[in-house]
Amino acid sequence: MKKIILLAIALCPCLVASAQQNTQKEGKLQDSTKKEGKLQDKTVTEGKLKDSLQTSGKLTVSGYAEIYYGYDFNRPPDNNRPPFVYSHNRSNEVNLNLGFIKVNYDNGNLRGNLALMAGTYTNANLATEPGVLKNIFEANAGIKVSKTANLWVDAGIFSSHIGFESAVSKDDWTLTRNILSDNTPYYESGAKLTYTSKDNKLTLVGLYLNGWQRINRETDNSQPAGGFEITWKPNDKISLNYSNYLGTEGADSVRVRRFYNDFYGIFQLTKAFGITAGLDYGIQQQFKGSTNYYQVFLPVAIARYQFTDKWAMAGRIEYYQDKNNVLIAVGAPKGFTTTGYSANLDYAPLKNALIRIEGKIYDSKNPIFMQHGGRLVNTSPLITTSFAISF
């Protein structure tokens, strides 16, 4: 009996140690199982997040910069081009016309754009906008409002619906802008309803706007503005567009009505050769309550030939008649009546780079262009070169 008791006493520590080891192993096994479970949960979560990012939309970041040098043969003393020129408006200096960084989001049902900019275009074209609003190129958001039709509502700050040119020079056939483009809105703020047909041939846009190229509404003007645009593309070689603007200018006590119409067509006659032709006509009340209207008349034509993927050239002729200084106030007794001619040569060393040179001359019926010595003359000759990149 004593031997049995002594043997049991001797085995107890071993049994206890063995039990502790088994318990520790079971604990480690449980911890391992928990870790594996957490790892699986993390993997599932990451997978869901990845799927969410893939299906929720596409976020893209892009940028653009255009450096230019323009030489005005009249050598204006302040190095500014004539006051009706807003893009590439500095002379005899190397400068940035427009540079911006843009973020775009689109998931098929929601979309938005935000772009911040700098350059001489910004200083000249947004001079009346307050504070940091001068540096906004785009800031808008939109939602698709139909499950069966391509129908969108967008609001914010966006590119103008008037004209065939934009502030982004690389997208235009000519290096500098025509007088028409420089003196109609480059940008607008408000809201718009856009419909595009299923075959993408027809686009209709209705707009509620804060005014004629305004982010903030004009002081003491309580009237909103509006516009309409229709674009028809019967095939990939022809694009026809009509757009208009209806609004008022000036404070409520003196405001006058403005109605502006823009027509243009882009015709790609061959793979290498294309023509753009535009005609704008606008009227503005002479004074509040008047039944008489001032008129502006503005035809323009551009021809472009693409020699190779890297080389192209374009020529332009334009005419601008604003006898009553409605859109362009030059102080001349007979108003602003000017013809412009230009020719440019383009070289694209890379798909996202463009080098251009352009010669241009304005010929006015009135001596409105300032020479270096202070003398006013009828002509304004200019040579401009630029280098633009995008990503």
- pLDDT above 80: residue 51: no
**Interval 193-228: pLDDT, tens:** 999 999 999 999 999 999 999 999 999 999 999 999
Chain centroid to CA 384: 23
What's this model's pTM, rounded to 2 decimal places? 0.84
Q: Is residue 314 part of a domain?
A: yes
32 falls within a domain: no
- Give the domain extent around 72: 59-390
Q: Is the pLDDT of residue 2 over 90?
A: no
Residue 8 has pLDDT above 50, yes or no: no
Q: How confident is the model at residue 57 (pLDDT cuts 50, 70, 90)?
A: low
Question: What six digits make up the tokens of 189?
Answer: 């703020």
Domain assignment of residue 38, yes or no: no
**CATH number of the structural domain spanning residue 234:** 2.40.160.10
125-167 pLDDT, tens digit each: 999 999 999 999 999 999 999 999 999 999 999 999 999 999 9
In a domain, 113, yes or no: yes
pLDDT single digits (tens) 81-129 = 999 999 999 999 999 999 999 999 999 999 999 999 999 999 999 999 9
39 located within any domain: no
State residue 146's pLDDT score.
Answer: 96
> What is the domain count for the chain?
1
